[in-house]
Structure formats: structure tokens, C-alpha cells
Amino acid sequence: MKTSRVSRMIQLLTALQSGQSYGVENLTEILSISKRMVFRDLSELRKVGVPCSFDPKSRGYRIDPKFFLSSPSLNNYEALSLLLLAHKVKNHIHFPFKNSAIMAALKIESGLPEKTKRFCNTALEKISIKPGPQENLDLLDQKFTQLLDAILDKRIAAICYSLSDGQEDMETNICPYHLMYNNYAWYVLAKKESGSEICLLKLNHIKECRILDKCFVEDKKFDLAEHIGRAWSMVPEGVLYNVKLRFLPQAAQSVCDVQWHNTQTVNFQDDGSAIMEFRVDGLKEIIWWILSYGDQVQVLAPASLREKVVQIAQNVAKQLPEGLSV
């Protein structure tokens, strides 16, 4: 749905005034316009005195936070999107400060015109989101707040961490850099005080956390996108692989409906199957995704990945109790 130029400029101002920075590609999606038009609109903002600038660190545009414009009124779908997030998505993923999000939504809702309220209430009754699998996250708000404060203040955190391989709990000091939600769980990316490598720690495994009155020097070269790179999910291994898979007709369409990785390419075959290719950093994470499709996927390349998948499948078969057959 195309918007008028005035409406588009209001959307652009609203996005850039939010305090976040937005890259050109993000703005093309938000505004449903070409990159050329985005650059033109940004130029128009500068001409009328709006302090819009490019931030090299975040690789996006933003408006100087000291510059103030009153918030525009919300239309039906803008209001619905916020209420949908607070009232429906809250049961879909574990995110911190759920109660605060609900209260914020109620404040927004209370100030909406009556016609917009009726639209949102009617629409929300007709929308559902089925909750996916989630890790149990005890004291999420507390852990999240502690680590976020430590990240913002660049302070070292002393933690007691439960290891998943049966070893004794680990006590260590970390320099936390970033919080991330992925694969049904929250993680903190951090460096150990005595180390230089970025490690990935589940918030659910942090049994105790204490913020020390001791600061760390942040590595200015750390870039989240660069660190994750082409990992299948979150953990790069330092070796790139060209992965080629064939999905049989029964699963081909559903699996190809999803963009699993930013390097993904798909070629449908005459028999209804599909060839999917990826260039990923490491194989450990993608193996379990491949196995989830059982006999509906064939590993064409690399040979090392095919051997690993076959070995795991054989090990699974060996787990059958004596006397039972497949």
C-alpha cells in the first residue's frame, strides 16, 4: 500500500526520532519505497533544518535526540501493531518487563480515539499467536536488568554459571557486551575478565549475578553482526562451508517458505523437490536443523556434513532398547 508523501515524511520522522538508528534498507521496508527515494527524503529533512545524520557505528540514520517534534497521532494499524505486540506476543516469547509493556500499552490505549479503540479491540479478538517452545527463565527481569546496567555502565559482573555437561558450576567475572534472544532463550555476549574471546552465556544458566564496582574498557572493534557473521545461528567456528541440500517434494515447499539464512538460495526441481544452498560458518549448528527434517532431506555437500548426519542417525538407531526393531 503506497502512502502519500506527507504521510511518508511523518513516518520517516517518527522512525528517526525514536532514538534508534535505521539503515537505508530498513527504511525502504518501513516506508515501502526505493532506496533512491529514501535518500531524497533524508535530504529534504536536512533542507528544512531537521538534524538527521548518519551514524557510522550503527550504520544507520537518526535525528539528534535534542531535537524535538511532537508525536503524531496513530492510525488504526499503527495502534493495532503496538497493542498486538503487548497483548498477544507477550505469550509467544519470553521478554523482560512484560508487565511494564502491558502497562505502556494500556496507557497508549487509553489515549486513543474511541473509533480506533473499537477497531483494535475487535481486531485483537480475531488474532491469535500460538506460543512456541520456550526455556523456563527464572528471575528474567532481575538478571536482564543487572546485565543491561552492567553493559551500559561498562561494569564487570561476577557470576555463578551452571555448565550443561555435568561439570561443577563455574564462578567467573565477565565483561558483558550485548543481550540477545535466539533459539527460545536469552543470551549475554561477554568476555571473561581474564580472556579476550567473546563467549555466549545463557541467562537461564546464570545462578547468581553480582555487579562489581569495577569497570572494564569496551573493545571498540566489537561488532555484533561481524562477530556472528555467517554462522547458522549464533556461534561461528571460523571455517566457511558451501552447504547443498535436497528437500523431497513433501517438505520442499514448507521449508522454502522460510528465509533460514541470509545466504540462502533455492531452486525447485521438476519432480517437486528443492535444492537449497547456504554458505555458513561452521557445521555444528546446522546439523541439528537438518536432522529435524528426518528422511525428507538429503545432504549433497559437503561430504563431511553428510558423514556427520549419517553418524548421528546411526547412533540414534543404536539407542533402541534390546528386543525392539526400527
Give yes or no for residue 105 having a pLDDT over 90: no
Q: Is 89 exposed, middle or buried (0-12, 13-18, 19+ CB in 10 A)?
A: middle
How much of the chain exceeds pLDDT 90, in percent?
36
Task: Examine residue 217 and state whether it is found in any structural domain, yes or no.
Answer: yes
Position 176 scores a pLDDT of: 94
State whether 19 and 96 are in the same domain: no
Averaged pLDDT, 254-265: 93
302 lies in which domain range? 240-318
The answer to whether the CB of 155 falls within 8 A of the CB of 146 is no
Give yes or no for residue 49 having a pLDDT over 70: yes
State whether 163 and 222 are in the same domain: yes
State whether 246 and 313 are in the same domain: yes
pLDDT tens digit string along 133-185? 666 666 678 888 899 999 999 999 999 998 876 778 889 999 999 998 887 78
State whether 177 and 251 are in the same domain: no
Task: Examine residue 164 and state whether it is found in any structural domain, yes or no.
Answer: yes
Least confident interval from 48-57, 215-224, 245-254: 48-57
Least confident interval from 4-18, 143-157, 272-286: 4-18
Q: Give the number of domains in the chain.
A: 4
Position 94 scores a pLDDT of: 66
State whether 31 and 109 are in the same domain: no
State whether 116 and 146 are in the same domain: no
pLDDT tens digit string along 51-98? 888 888 778 888 877 776 555 678 888 888 888 877 776 666 666 777
Measure the CA angle with vertex 51, ends 48 and 57; round to 5°: 145
**Dist CA 168 CA 162 (whole Å):** 7
Task: Examine residue 233 and state whether it is found in any structural domain, yes or no.
Answer: no
Give the predicted TM-score (pTM) of the model. Answer: 0.66
Q: What's the CATH number where 274 sits?
A: 3.30.70
Position 243 scores a pLDDT of: 96
Boundary residue ending a domain (63, 91, 110): 63
State whether 223 and 157 are in the same domain: yes
State whether 146 and 212 are in the same domain: yes
Residue with cell 508525536: 71
State whether 59 and 96 are in the same domain: no
State whether 169 and 118 are in the same domain: no
Residues β-bridged to residue 247: 274, 297
C-alpha distances in angstroms, 68 versus 63, 189, 271?
9, 34, 59
Residue 198, C-alpha cell as written in the block: 567473546
Q: What is the DSSP string of 123-134?
A: HHHT--------
Report the mean per-residue pLDDT for the chain: 84
Q: What's the CATH number where 178 sits?
A: 2.30.30
Position 308 scores a pLDDT of: 93
Q: What's the CATH number where 18 sits?
A: 1.10.10.10
5: Cα separation from own chain's centroid: 31
Position 2 scores a pLDDT of: 43
State whether 223 and 272 are in the same domain: no
State whether 150 and 221 are in the same domain: yes
| Alpha-carbon dihedral 20, 21, 24, 26, rounded to 10 degrees | -30
Boundary residue ending a domain (227, 256, 284): 227
Cβ neighbours for 260, distance < 8 A, ≥ 6 positions apart: 276, 278, 289
Task: Examine residue 158 and state whether it is found in any structural domain, yes or no.
Answer: yes
